Structure 1
Amino acid sequence: MEFLIERLPLYLDGAWVTIQLTIGGCAMAFVLAMVFGTLGSMKHWLPRAVATVYVEVFRGIAALVLMFWMAFALPLMTGFQLENRFAAIVALGLNVGAYGAEVVRAAINAVPKAQVEATVALNMSWFQRTRLVVLPQAWAQMLPTFGNLVIELMKATAVAYLIGVADLTAVAQQMRQGTGETIVAFTGALILYYLMAQVLITGMRVLERRANRKLGRTQAGDTGLKALLKHPAIGGGSAGVG
């Protein structure tokens, strides 16, 4: 324990780099997932073909290999050297974004066709019906799987040290080599990774609850008498239970 306390600032520095990789990778993956997932749900063959190419290519490439390519192969081809941290973010974003695109596509296609047809009858444009009707419902369906992808991306940042990124795993590895305390060194990393994962899980659950609440859906915990009391016909939102 004393070993961990003395070296806590170093672990926190590594954890901060891991958080940066996670946030950057998630932001990029989310944008790519929304863009290519939406393209994949369209009727025209061209946007669907573009989305399919992206998904099949980057879903089939290991994140670590993509990191190596961004950090070492790309500079040889283009003469442009990416900063190692940015190379890791791009690799993670491209890889996880491909999985996310399939989640978005499936969620959009799961929206009842009758509702889409109703928006067409109301003369809504594609942008209006996507923004006002389709995405709010699809968003609630995407979130549980998005939560899993966020956790997987965070864990995938652990290999970024192999391209020279001083993340949490790199700090633990340096501690092990410098002190020989293998168990203690990696226990510190294990604890911090677990804590970061719990924060992400909690955040995604909050988003899920908010999305379901906006759609008027009963929360997973609202079962039995609690759900009955919230029903509008019984008294939810009005008199309640005195």
Structure 2
Amino acid sequence: MEVHWTEYLPPLLEGAWVTIRLTVFSTLLGAILAFAAGVGRLSRNGALRAVSVAYIELFRGTSLLVQLFWLYFALPLAGQAVGLDLRIPPVIAGILALSLNIGAYGAEVVRGAIQSVHTGQHEAALALNFTPRQTLARVTIPQAIPEMMPSFGNLAVQNLKDTALVSLISLGDMTFRAEQIRNFTQDSVTVYSMLLAMYFGMALVLTAMMRGIEHSVGRWRPVRS
């Protein structure tokens, strides 16, 4: 029995909602991890700096797919070996893997943006008797954020595309639903064309949102004479 392409939309939209939630939650958590690791890498505390460097290099130097499989398949087995139940639901494993990955790449963006703040700003904060923590929170980070936004926008779009990997742990995202439809109908051209268009549309929306945020924080840049 022939199936009209419009009948593909309900399951694809159901999967799209999963994809959107994965993207939003993992991007937000990844941003938090990026700030923590990026600032930690510049810390004077040797232990904190070492932990930040280890996290960044580990997750930048290994495959996201392997990280996802390790969290979902290997971690529970490792837990069993020591008598712990470390099973993670697929959605949590997906969010964690995506967040840890984007956070590691974002940490280098944060580090570079912080180091790009002019030394004169730090000297002015010192003249005002700001503590290092006050200088970071009130001077450095507000001026560094506008420099981070273009790169963060690219990372957010990449993160959206990376969500397709969660279909490999049977999480019902957009790619997983598309594969189910293709297996049932054998209509690869239509299904994957719709999937391509949906990812492209979501990427356009996400790019527009990130540019809006970039524009709104642009006023934090210091006025240069």
Q: TM-score, normalised by structure 2?
A: 0.92
Q: Please tell me the residue identity of whatever aligns with 1:91.
A: A
Matched with 1:163 is: 169
Q: Report % sequence identity.
A: 41
Which residue in 1 is equivalent to 2:82?
none
Residue number in structure 2 paired with 1:190: 196
For 1:133 and 1:5, locate their aligned partners in 2 and report how far apart those are by CA, in whole Å. 53
Residue deviations 1:106-164 (CA, integer Å, cap 9, x gap): 10011011211221121112222112111111000000000010011110011111011
Return the alpha-carbon distance in structure 2 between the equivalents of residues 28 and 165 of structure 1. 19
**C-alpha distance after superposition, 1:90-119 (max 9, x if no partner):** 011111110000100110011011211221
Residue by residue over 1:21-63, the C-alpha shift from the partner in whole angstroms, topping out at 9 and shown as x without a partner, is 1112112211100001011122343332221111111111111
Q: Could you tell me which of 103, 106, 110 is aligned with 1:104? A: 110
Q: Deviations over 1:58-108 (max 9, x none)?
A: 111111111111111111111321001110110111111100001001100
Which amino acid in the other structure matches residue 91 of structure 2?
R
Query: Taking structure 1 as reference, are residues 172 and 149 closer, same or farther at Cα in structure 2, changes over 3 Å only?
Result: same
The equivalent residue for 1:230 is: none
The corresponding residue for 2:48 is: 47
Structure 1 letter corresponding to 2:24: I
The residue that corresponds to 1:237 in the other structure is none
Quote the offset at 1:216 in angstroms: 6.3
Mapped to 1, the partners of 2:128 and 2:43 lie a distance apart of 20
SS of corresponding position for 1:80: coil
Matches within 5 A, 1:45-194: 45-78=46-79, 79-194=85-200
CA contact (8 A) 2:76 2:86 kept: yes
**How far is 1:4 from its partner?**
3.0
| Other structure's SS at 2:172 match | coil
> RCO greater where, 1 or 2, for CA within 8 Å and sep 6 or more?
2
CA RMSD of aligned residues (A): 1.6
In the alignment, structure 1 residue 36 sits paired with structure 2 residue 11: no
CA distance in 2, matches of 1:178, 1:46: 54
Size of the aligned set, in residue pairs, is: 217
- Contact 1:29–1:94 (CA under 8 A) maintained in structure 2: yes
Unpaired stretches in structure 1, ≥5 consecutive residues? 219-242
Q: Which structure is larger by alpha-carbon Rg, 1 or 2?
A: 1
After TM superposition, what 4+ stretches of structure 1 lie above 4 angstroms from structure 2? none
Residues of 1 paired with 2:208 and 2:59: CA distance? 28
CA distance in 1, matches of 2:201, 2:222: 32
Q: Is the 8 A contact 2:143 2:222 kept in 1?
A: no
Give distance in 1, aligned partners of 2:173 and 2:93.
14
Q: Which runs of 5+ in 2 are unaligned?
A: 80-84
Distance in 2 of aligned mates of 1:99 and 1:119: 29
